[in-house]
Amino acid sequence: MLTVKDLVVNYGAIQAVKKVSFDIHTGEIVTLIGANGAGKSTILKTISGILRPTSGQITYQQQSLQKVAAPKIVHAGISQVPEGRHIFPGLSVQENLQLGAFLRRDRANLAQSYQDVYNYFPVLKQRRHQDAATLSGGEQQMLAMGRALMAKPKLMLLDEPSMGLAPIFIQEIFTIIQAINAAGTTVLLIEQNAKQALSIANRGYVLASGHIKLSGTGAELLANPAVQEAYLGGKL
């Protein structure tokens, strides 16, 4: 579905991503793990068209994304759930979801999309008329995911979905990610909670200082002593 080849992304004179290559197959959950500053979020923003690569190639369903504007990337089937959620305060839960469907042409099917989101996140239905800014952190994360789903993505990019959440919400979010994937959405997951991410991922890549250092199945990386030492607090 997606191929990233020799991707280089600079912030001015700083090279944040250094010749990174990986791929994602339809139906997978793939995770990128690594410390803060490793380049994970930069990669997602570049796939989404928010940032432009210095060099390298990004191909989605055999089409280059090199010069494609971010709205067209969303329309092609890629939606991002940003780090920090970035819900729209002053708008209701339902209005936030409506904005997720802004580029949709099949307006007649929106009612079903709302229902699908509310099936994943029943609390959002209960609070659909409430100002989104008044939701808890976990509820705002659910809203950010629901908003992305309203675009009917084929590929969902998730940037640190568990950041700042209570443990009860973290488990719920990861369970819903699996359910979304099982329903047919391919997932690229960036997550500092490496144990949780690798436990649900088909495959993973370990990113450090802008480079991919290791790759393998989720189970292989969970069992790798180097990954355990660096990201999992020692042997599980």
pLDDT of the residue at 235:
43
Lowest mean pLDDT among 95-104, 185-194, 197-206, 227-236: 227-236
pLDDT for 88 beyond 60: yes
Cα(211)–Cα(43) distance, integer angstroms: 11
Domains recognised in the chain with CATH numbers: 2-83+154-231 (3.40.50.300)
How does residue 233 score in pLDDT terms, banded at 50, 70 and 90?
Answer: low
pLDDT of the residue at 11:
87
Lowest mean pLDDT among 12-16, 78-82, 93-97: 12-16
Cα(114)–Cα(191) distance, integer angstroms: 27
How does residue 4 score in pLDDT terms, banded at 50, 70 and 90?
Answer: very high
pLDDT of the residue at 168:
84
pLDDT of the residue at 108:
80
pLDDT tens, residue by residue, 140-190: 999 999 999 999 999 999 999 998 888 888 989 999 999 999 999 999 999
Do residues 9 and 16 touch, judged by C-beta distance below 8 A? yes
pLDDT of the residue at 94:
96
The model's pTM is 0.92
| Residue 143: both structure tokens together | 């809203």
Q: Which of 2, 3, 137, 120 is nearest to 83 (CA)?
A: 137
pLDDT for 70 beyond 70: yes
Contacts of 215 by beta carbon, 8 Å cutoff, 6+ apart: 22, 203, 204, 205, 206, 221
pLDDT for 133 beyond 60: yes
pLDDT of the residue at 62:
93
Which range has highest mean pLDDT (39-43, 104-108, 186-190, 225-229)? 186-190
pLDDT of the residue at 118:
96
- What backbone torsions phi and psi does residue 29 show, to the nearest 5 degrees? -110, 120
Do residues 95 and 146 touch, judged by C-beta distance below 8 A? no
pLDDT for 52 beyond 50: yes
Looking up tokens 């999309």 gives 113
pLDDT of the residue at 109:
85
Cα(226)–Cα(74) distance, integer angstroms: 36
* Coil, helix or strand at residue 182: helix
pLDDT of the residue at 164:
86
